[in-house]
Structure formats: C-alpha cells, structure tokens
C-alpha cells in the first residue's frame, strides 16, 4: 500500500514550542507530559503481558517529535521502533533527538507499510485527523501490522470535563474533533479490527494523588481523562474500511 498523508503539516508551526505549549495546558493537572506518557505505556505493557504479547517491532503512529519512543524502547525492549508523522519538521527533530540504530523516524507520506509491525502505538492523533480521513489512517495502520498484531489507540476522553479544559488551553487542540471511546470502537470495528479491551485512565489530578490507587479499579468506567482501545488485526481487511 502506498503511504498517504492523512494530516496537514499544521504541527510544523509548533515544533519549537510544542513541549512548552503542552505543559502549559497540562499545568491544571499538576503533572507534566512525562507523567501521562509513562502511565500510558506502562498500562499498555501490563495489558499486553496479560495476553502474553511481547512486540519485537513497534510503530509510533503520529509520533510528533518522538517523545514516546525512548519509553517504548525502555519498557518493551523491542528490536526496533519506527515513528511516522506527516510533519517534516517534527520528523527532523525526532531523528536529531532520538534517532538510533533501533529508533528511526519517517515522514508518513514516504513510508510504505509492509505488514511487519507487531504493535502500533498511537496517542492523541485521531482527534487531529479530519473525520473523512480517519478510515484512510486505519488502512495505513492495518497494512503496517502483521496478522494478529495489536493496535493501541489512546485518545482524549471528551466526556471528562478536565480533558476539555486542558484541550482548550492548548493552541493545537482547540479546533480538534474529539471522538468518544464508543465512536472509536465502532470506527475500528468497521475497519476490521477485533476489540480486545477498553480502559479509561487518569482520573485524579496531582492534588488528589492519594486517591490514585483506585484508578485501576475504575478503569472500566468513563471517568478518566484518556482512554485506550486495544484492538487486534484478525481476518482480512474489511471492504468497508
């Protein structure tokens, strides 16, 4: 499948200030981006270990400036991670900061999926993809995955008022079109994915961190600031995708 650009290059304008702008939005939670990135990847690792899944090749779809890649390398110890993104400036910075023998970054318009990836990790990307282009994005992901591979879709939960407030404070999130977990589930099912589980994370801000021990027990309920839909590539690609 020929790789397609499914997002504009709007993030080229934010590469230099991306970290600062994101932390500005997250300030209301009392945590920085590292707290959420670590929480997402540790939770995903635990989910996959329960399934006895140990990915050797990982893709970070919509990798931006590559901040998640060192964590993916550390937690999963894969053979390689490839980050893909439509923003040339983001890819240039990611290669500069995190590129290595095991970590490579490619512009999505120049990357041809080979069905050789065990896990696709994707965080906070789909709310930036125009609704009409989301199935195109899923085709790219489908054709990147091996048969039986897993797609971990993390998205912001629009049912959480704190999430909506944080997004309103981040310039590149203000015009985003969010999707709920049920909407994401239907989208993935239409594309032919089998849904494995859905979890909601990040309920309590730092000021209420003493209550965070409850979050794993509350993960089935739609309270968290973000959610994970974990899906598996099974069968042939749906004609409806």
Residues 180 and 163: their CA atoms lie apart, in Å, by 12
CB distance 184 to 123 below 8 Å: no
Q: List the one residue out of 54, 62, 71 whose CA is nearest residue 5.
A: 62
List of domains in the chain: 10-233 (3.40.50.150)
Segment 178-216, tens digit of pLDDT: 999 999 999 999 999 999 999 999 999 889 999 999 999
* Local confidence band at 23 (pLDDT 50, 70, 90 cut-offs): low
Kind and range of the H or E element at 195? strand 193-201
Kind and range of the H or E element at 143? helix 134-144
Segment 73-86, tens digit of pLDDT: 999 999 999 999 99
Segment 119-170, tens digit of pLDDT: 999 999 999 899 999 999 999 999 999 999 999 999 999 999 888 887 777 6
């Amino acid at each position: 499948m020929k790789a397609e650009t499914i997002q504009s290059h709007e993030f080229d304008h934010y590469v230099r200030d991306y970290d600062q702008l994101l932390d500005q939005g997250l300030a209301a939670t009392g945590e920085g981006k590292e707290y959420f990135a670590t929480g997402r990847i540790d939770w995903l690792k635990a989910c996959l270990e329960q399934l006895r899944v140990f990915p050797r090749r990982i893709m970070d779809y919509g990798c931006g400036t590559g901040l998640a890649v060192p964590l993916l390398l550390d937690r999963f110890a894969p053979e390689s991670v490839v980050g893909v993104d439509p923003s040339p400036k983001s890819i240039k910075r990611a290669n500069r900061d995190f590129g290595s023998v095991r970590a490579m970054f490619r512009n999505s318009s120049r990357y041809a999926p080979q069905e050789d990836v065990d896990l696709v990790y994707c965080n906070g990307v789909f709310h930036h993809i125009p609704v009409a282009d989301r199935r195109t994005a899923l085709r790219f992901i489908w054709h990147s995955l091996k048969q039986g591979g897993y797609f971990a879709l993390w998205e912001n939960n629009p049912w959480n008022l704190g999430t909506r407030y944080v997004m309103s404070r981040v310039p590149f999130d203000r015009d985003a079109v969010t999707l709920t977990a049920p909407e994401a589930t239907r989208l993935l099912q239409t594309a032919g994915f089998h849904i494995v589980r859905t979890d909601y994370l990040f309920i309590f801000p730092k000021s209420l961190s003493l209550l965070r021990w409850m979050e794993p027990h509350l993960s089935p309920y739609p309270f968290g600031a973000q959610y994970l839909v974990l899906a598996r590539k099974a069968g042939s690609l749906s004609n409806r995708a």
